[in-house]
Amino acid sequence: MVSSLFLCGSWGFHAHRQINRLAVFTLPPEMIGFYKANIGYITEASVNADRRRFAVVDEAPRHYIDIDHFGDSALYTMPRYWKEAVEQYGEDTLKAYGILPWHINVMYYRLKDAFLMRDPAKILSLSADLGHYLADAHVPLHTTENYNGQFTGQEGIHAFWESRLPELFSGEYDFFVGKATYIENPQLEAWRIIERTHQNLNDVLQFERQLTAEMSEKKYSFETRGKQTIKVYSYEFSKAYHDALNGMVERQMKASIKSLGDFWYSAWVDAGQPDLKAIINYKPTEAELAQRRKEVEEWKQQQVKVRVHEDEN
C-alpha cells in the first residue's frame, strides 16, 4: 500500500513533545522539581489538544488564526482583547477564522487558577495544553487562510514545514534558551507571538515555490514505515528547503520553548508562588478541591470589588 504523508495539523508529535519537555528546564528551582517529576506526562500530553480536534466542538479554531482574512493591516489593527474583537466582528466570525491568541490567554488564566487551587492534575493538564497552543502560535502556516498552500498550488507544505523538517533536522538544533522570565500581559504577549510568526509566512511559501521549480523531479521520494510505503518530501529537497529557511524552524521551536516556560512561570507567580514541592506526590480529595474552588471564587469576587472601588476614586 502506498500513501502520502501530507496530513495537515499542527507541529508534528515529535516537535510538540520536544517543546513541552525542554520548556521544563527553563523553570526556576521552586518549580522545576514538580515539572521534572512529571516530565513524562508533560511530554506525552503535549499532543492531547490535537487528539481532541475532531471530538470536541470548537476545539479546532483554538489552534490557528487566519489573520490575513481580516485584511492586509489586520495583524496590527485586530482588537487584542476578546470582548472588543467580538464587538467588532462577532463571535461566529472569529471562531470561523480561528481564536488562537485569545485562547492562549484563556489557558493562562485557567493555569493560574489551578496553581491557586494547588491541584496537581489540573496544573499538569493545563500546562501541557498551553504548551500545545503556544507551539502552534509559532507556526507561520497557523496564521493564514492559505494554511496548507491550497491557494498557491503548494498542498502539503503545512506538514512539510512543521513535521518533516523537525523530524529530519531537529537533532542538530541548539535548544538552549535560558531561564523563564515574567510576562506582564499574557494577552498582548500572545499577540506579539502571532505578529512575529506571521512575518515569516512569505519566506515559508516563496522558498518552497522556488525550489519546486528548480527541483521538481527530486521533490518526493518513498519511505517504508511498518507495512506501508509512504510518499514523502525527499531528503534532498527537504535539506535544500531547510537551508533556504536559514534556521527558521529552529528559531521557532526555540521561541516556543522559551514562551512556554515564560507562561508557566508567570502563571505561578501571579498565583502567589505556591509551594509545588508539597504537591509532587500529593493527590487532593474532591472535598479539598471543592473547598479550594470556593476559596478561589471568593478571592476573585473580592478582586472585582477592589477594582470597582479603585475605579470610583
225 CB-near residues (< 8 Å, 6+ apart):
none
pTM over 0.95: no
In angstroms, the Cα distances linking 68 to 64, 71, 146 are 12, 5, 9
User: Given CA atoms 80, 158, 57, 130 in this order, what sign does their dihedral have?
Assistant: negative
User: Given CA atoms 60, 19, 75, 87 in this order, what sign does their dihedral have?
Assistant: positive
What is the pLDDT tens value at each position of the chain, 313 positions in all? 334 444 445 677 899 999 999 999 999 999 999 999 999 999 999 999 998 988 888 999 999 999 999 999 999 999 999 999 999 999 999 999 999 999 999 999 999 999 999 999 999 999 999 999 999 999 999 999 999 999 999 999 999 999 999 999 999 999 999 999 999 999 999 999 999 999 999 999 999 999 999 999 999 999 988 889 989 999 999 999 999 999 999 999 999 999 999 999 999 999 999 999 999 987 777 887 788 778 778 767 766 554 443 343 3
Using CA atoms, how far apart are residues 251 and 175, in angstroms rounded to an integer?
9
Cell of 280: 509532587
Cell of 1: 500500500
222 CB-near residues (< 8 Å, 6+ apart):
2, 229, 230, 231, 232
pLDDT the model gives residue 289: 74
**Fold held by 2-282:** P1 Nuclease (1.10.575)
In DSSP terms, 163 is beta-bridged to: none
pLDDT the model gives residue 311: 41
